[in-house]
Structure 1
Amino acid sequence: MLSRRALLPRSTPAAAGVSSRAVAALLDRLEESSVECHSLVVVRHGHVLAEGWWEPYSAGSPHLLYSLTKTFTAVAVGLAVADGLLSLDDRVVDVLPDHVPADAPEQARRLTVQHLLTMTTGHGTDSLEEAWRLEQRDLVRGFLRVPFVEAEGTRHAYDNATTFVLARMVERVTGRSLPDLLDERLLVPMGIDHAEWDRVGGDTAYGFHGLHLTTEAVAAFGELLLRGGRWGDRQLLPAAWVALATSKHVDSVPYKDDDSHDTDYTCGYGYQVWLNRHGFHGSGAYSQLCVVVPSSDLVVAVTAEGEGQVVLDALWECLLPGLDAPGTAQDDDALADRLRHLSLPTATGGATPGRSVEARLDAPGQDPVLPDGTTIVVHPADGGWTLHLGPLAVEVGHGAWRRSAPLGRPVVASGAWQADTFVADLRVVATPHTVRVVVDAGTGSAVATWSAVPLTTSDLEAHLRSPLVTRPGHG
């Protein structure tokens, strides 16, 4: 059951010309892969034909999109361009002159909106950390100080800071914050009223990351792009801008440094969007995906923790062959039942009623979840436990997920006793990430580790606050 007003109409796979067995094969592939899937929404011919959330993730909960946020920022640029407030040839130094260091190199002074949108500024790698190191309170200034290794406009290099600079340029020329502009001009007219934005200090949205939306809202955004910026009877984005933004402007190279097979990240780059073998997609770390396949009138939205290429391969190999090959009503019913009962496993072990324990956290120096020495206390509660992590109190279910929000954003947890050890999985469901807490009652020690360390900060407390705020204020 949807907990919010539906943004898109519903249909069945057969009515949309899709085989339910192909969707089931996609689910099989994802569940057998290294990707931990949290949600899936499949849209064809403008109708949702399949949707599911792996419990404890849910339809009504906004989810961190990581760098899929960039595609929304590019849309904000398009709005500013359509209003005549910004052009592709406008230079950073002219729009943000108060952020230009006196010794900025000539190449920095030539950088334009086009260079930023296509990430062809001439930085050889992501400049974000170096820019923040150079100018901790002014990322734009730091970005312009990072040395260039190639001429602007010649080579794509994935660079988070370019999107931060674009966001500040849009805010300067429109006089609106990025979240307010997108709410007013795009999200609220689409019926999306739940957007949350993580920020740097000073209430500044990252732009390159930090947007939280429900999976259906991500799918609706993909449908908007598929329809050339039209939503119902309103043209929210200029069709010409959507066509330009989703076209190839430069060859792309994988943004990871390893030898991963990244076929769909080497097909070219548009305006903060990746071209792929079948259309284009917006992509966030750990498989936050909005995939648009115009030739098949198809949109797929996914949230997960894993590698995006694994998900894309599964879409092409399992779902696409099932288009225009509808199955039976019985197949549709079986798929619908499966989608209603998706879940992630709870912690295994016994309840051991009445048993409590106190321990000290042994937190290594790198990526600590909580400070070293934090007191960890496990107290029995009805159907589970209350887990105290220093000042935080988290409700933990046994054989079930229990939800609490000690600092504002939810955490959903399950736990169990395994002999003399208490184990709890704390899913920070506003993000892709999970913390596992292991308490050894015999030694009085505990450890806490992330399933995958968040890209912003490893501090659990920060992720339980809304909004998450990292880095100093923006100058």
Structure 2
Amino acid sequence: MALDLDDRTPDLSRASDVGARRLPRSTPEQQGVDPGGVARLVRALASEAPELHSLMLVRHGFVVAEAWAAPFSSDRTHLLYSLSKTFTASAVGFARAEGLLDLDDLLVELLARLTPGHVSDEALGGLDAGARALLGRLRVRDLLTMTSGHDADPSEAVFAGEDWLAGFLAQPLAHEPGTHFVYNTAATYVLAELVQRAAGVGLVEYLRLRLYEPLGIVGVTWELSPTGYEVGGFGMSATTEDLAVLGELFLRDGVWAGRQVLPEGWAALASAAQVPSGWGGPAEDDSDSDWSQGYGFQMWRSRHGGYRGDGAFGQYCLVLPEQDAVVAITASVPDMGAQLAIVWEHLLPAFAPDELPDDPAGRAALAAAVDGLRLDPPQGPASSAVGDAAAGRRVAFAANPAGLRSVVLRPGVTDELELTFDEGVVALVAGHGEAVNQPVPMPAHGNAPVLQADPVHGRTGIGWQDAAVSAIWPEPDLYRITVRLLGMPHTLTIDARWSGSSVTVTGGFDLWMGDGRLPTLIGTIEG
């Protein structure tokens, strides 16, 4: 017998824990889902669109399948990239309901009130009369729907500066606002700064009482702009169940645990196709593309009648109203279209209108697919005569953009590496065959290397990220370190090629926004 729908009442007993369960669990069959079909979905995502980090499937309000690929886990937050935009749009919805702004407010009038100096004649001196006129007709609604009037995405130019709001205003518009869709992360940033200035608090704090706490979402972080505002269009981190809960909130018209959390009507408004979409505008629409089905308020319409928030490299909150289902995914994939195609191919046939007969074999197949999800570190020799000879000797580097002065390798059962940066000494431990989890120094995401405070680990000077670190010697003179970032869809590989008294260090990220390569460093072995 299917579980009573009254059992869908969220369990908030552990809502103070990161990754706490808030949704009830059920067997797939009880909710009309074929477990064998879900097993095929998990296997396909893991093998055909690697790498899958996590997946949660919710049907009729019940979690019927959930999976994390070790070393990822339910209690770790994951960088969402542009899926952050859906949370930012929700903040706009709250601000609208509270009278802080309106969808048809003109941007220049809001800015004149909230950001003195940004719309002065001096600030807009680079715009001609036509561009100023277009800017004067740009509304909050146009920012939400990515129809700001830019001919091409201005985000790269905007984010290259220190004041992103001023940088956005300096980019001339070419189209009447509201008429031309161009994906525009900088526009989302403007929305985020508007809400923060109007509310007088940061985005995380603004959403805490309104959205996060009602949904039991804790441990959220959000990257900051150079001027100190949560960036809105990317940079938020949350858990897989947080995404599933967000999808359930939209699926239930903004109601959670019997409470109207989102402003009434906002879920329907934000998820509707407000404008035609396509990366290059309507002229490049492709009816077979999930990015050409229409765009709402920082949400995409999907094929097969649903909608979604999505983020680069495969982060998804898929809402399927016709199937009464939600799918949350975190991943690291280069082709998001192929990833979604796999979901449609395997998941849609798995839905049935009614409860299915008990299927032990199907559940066993699903359990095996879930249990088999692992992202093991590269395997290879744990030692080399070259490394043994260099043990404990200092490798010194000339001044470089990474600020790395020297490295000392002490090989063993686990390798110990002492890295001296301009800002201090960092100790890393690299496992062989099994990675060692630890915080590692990292640049701020998406930017050139910078130094920042880290309240989590109590350090200052260098930015830190939790990572799984391992090392092998794939060749006698090549030492390879693999750093899998446990809160991001990225893995860093560093190669150190030993030749006589010198060491050449190269490497980079497998996937990155922009150029993920590290600068090549040549060090000298001392002693």
Q: TM-score range by the shorter chain?
A: 0.7 to 0.9
CA contact (8 A) 1:96 1:172 kept: no
Q: Contact (CA 8 Å) 1:404, 1:410: kept in 2 or not?
A: yes
- Corresponding residue SS for 1:199: coil
SS at match of 1:404: strand
Per the alignment, residue 469 of structure 1 pairs with none
Distance (Å, rounded) in 1 between the aligned partners of 2:230 and 2:77: 17
SS at match of 2:31: coil
> Equivalents in 1 of 2:211, 2:48: separation in Å?
35
Change (3 A) 1:285 1:129: same
Question: Given the superposition, is the C-alpha separation of residues 33 and 361 from structure 1 closer, same or farther in structure 2, using an over 3 Å criterion?
Answer: farther
- Structure 2: which amino acid aligns with 1:124? D
Q: Which moved more, 1:200-209 or 1:403-412?
A: 403-412
Deviation at 1:192, TM superposition (A): 0.9
- Partner residue, 2:202: 177
- Specify the code of the residue in structure 2 equivalent to 1:385: D
Range that drifts further, 447-456 or 94-103:
447-456
Answer with 289-298 or 450-459: which moved more. Answer: 450-459
**Partner of residue 291, structure 1:** 318
Is 2:239 the partner of 1:214? yes
Whether contact under 8 Å (2:250, 2:267) holds in the other structure is yes
RMSD: 2.8
CA deviation string 1:7-61 (max 9, x = no partner)? 2111121222111111111122212324311111111111111111111111111
* Letter of the 2:375 counterpart: L
**Does structure 2 conserve the Cα–Cα contact (< 8 Å) formed by 1:50 and 1:336?**
no
Query: Could you tell me how far 1:352 is from its partner in structure 2?
Result: 2.7
Distance, in Å, in 1 between the alignment partners of 2:216 and 2:300 is 26
Q: 2:155 aligns with which of 114, 118, 128?
A: 128
- Greater Cα radius of gyration, structure 1 or 2: 2
Q: Given that residues 386 and 395 in structure 1 are in contact (C-alpha distance below 8 angstroms), is that contact kept between their aligned partners in structure 2? A: yes
Structure-2 separation of matches of 1:218 and 1:95 = 31
Alignment match, 1:463: none
Alpha-carbon distance change, 389 to 22 in structure 1, aligned in 2, over 3 angstroms: farther
Aligned to 2:79: 64
User: Corresponding residue for 1:448?
Assistant: 507
Amino acid aligned to 2:221: E
Match of 1:393 in 2: 427
- The answer to whether the 8 Å contact 2:19/2:240 transfers is no
For residues 218-367 of structure 1, the aligned pairs below 5 Å read: 218-254=243-279, 263-278=289-304, 279-306=306-333, 307-324=335-352, 326=356, 328-352=359-383, 355=388, 357=391
Check the 8 A contact 1:250/1:270 in 2, yes or no.
Answer: yes
Q: Give distance in 2, aligned partners of 1:389 and 1:450.
A: 19
Amino acid corresponding to residue 318 of structure 2 in structure 1: V
Please report how far the alpha carbon of residue 3 of structure 1 lies from its aligned counterpart in structure 2 after TM superposition.
Answer: 7.0
State the TM-score, normalized to the length of structure 2: 0.79
Which sits farther off after the overlay, 319-328 or 269-278? 319-328
Moved more, 445-454 or 77-86: 445-454
What SS is found at the alignment partner of 1:441? strand
SS for the counterpart of 1:399 is coil
Deviates more, 1:346-355 or 1:186-195: 346-355
1:162 aligns with 2:181: no
Shift in alpha-carbon separation, 1:255–1:280, aligned structure 2, 3 A = farther
CA distance in 2: counterparts of 1:349 and 1:176, whole angstroms? 50
Q: Write the deviation string for residues 380-421 of structure 1: whole angstroms up to 9, x where unpaired.
A: 24x422234444332221111210114542011222222412
Deviates more, 1:35-44 or 1:286-295: 35-44
- Taking a change above 3 Å as real, the CA distance of residues 288 and 213 of structure 1, as seen in their structure-2 partners, is same
Deviates more, 1:207-216 or 1:401-410: 401-410
Partner of 2:31: 16
2:217 aligns to what? 192
- Per-residue deviation, 1:434: 0.6
Residue by residue over 1:312-370, the C-alpha shift from the partner in whole angstroms, topping out at 9 and shown as x without a partner, is 1111101110111846023213312431341013211122388355686999x9xx8x4
TM-score (norm 1): 0.88
Does structure 2 conserve the Cα–Cα contact (< 8 Å) formed by 1:347 and 1:424? no
Task: Evaluate the alpha carbon distance shift between residue 41 and residue 31 of structure 1 in structure 2; reply closer, same or farther with a 3 A threshold.
Answer: same
Cα deviation code 1:267-311 (max 9, x no counterpart): 110000000113001111111111110110111111111122122
CA contact (8 A) 1:13 1:19 kept: yes
- Cα 1:255–1:53 shift into 2, 3 Å: farther
Residues 290 and 299 of structure 1 are in contact (CA less than 8 Å); yes or no, is this contact kept in structure 2? yes
- 1:82/1:424 Cα in 2 relative to 1: closer, same or farther (>3 Å)? same
Q: How many residue pairs are counted as aligned between the two chains? A: 450
User: What SS does the aligned partner of 1:15 have?
Assistant: helix
The separation in 1 between residues aligned to 2:71 and 2:322, in whole angstroms, is: 34
What secondary structure does 1:409 align onto? strand
* Whole-Å separation in 2 of the counterparts to 1:54 and 1:455: 26
Q: How many angstroms does 1:221 deviate by?
A: 0.8
Per the alignment, residue 468 of structure 1 pairs with none
- For residues 272 and 510 of structure 2, what CA distance do their matches in structure 1 show? 36
Contact kept? 1:286, 1:305, Cα under 8 Å:
yes
SS of the residue 2:211 aligns to: helix
Matched, 1:100 2:156: no
Q: Which moved more, 1:394-403 or 1:449-458?
A: 449-458
Query: Unaligned regions of 5+ residues in structure 2, if any?
Result: 1-16, 442-463, 520-527
Residue 453 of structure 1: CA displacement?
A: 2.3
Task: Quote the Cα distance in structure 2 between the aligned partners of 1:450 and 1:57.
Answer: 18
In structure 2, the residue matched to 1:473 is none
Contact kept in structure 1, 2:39 and 2:365, CA below 8 Å: no
- CA 1:361–1:46 in 2, change beyond 3 Å: closer, same or farther? farther
Which of 118, 134, 138 is the aligned partner of 2:163? 138
Distance change >3 Å, CA 416–CA 237, structure 1 → 2: same
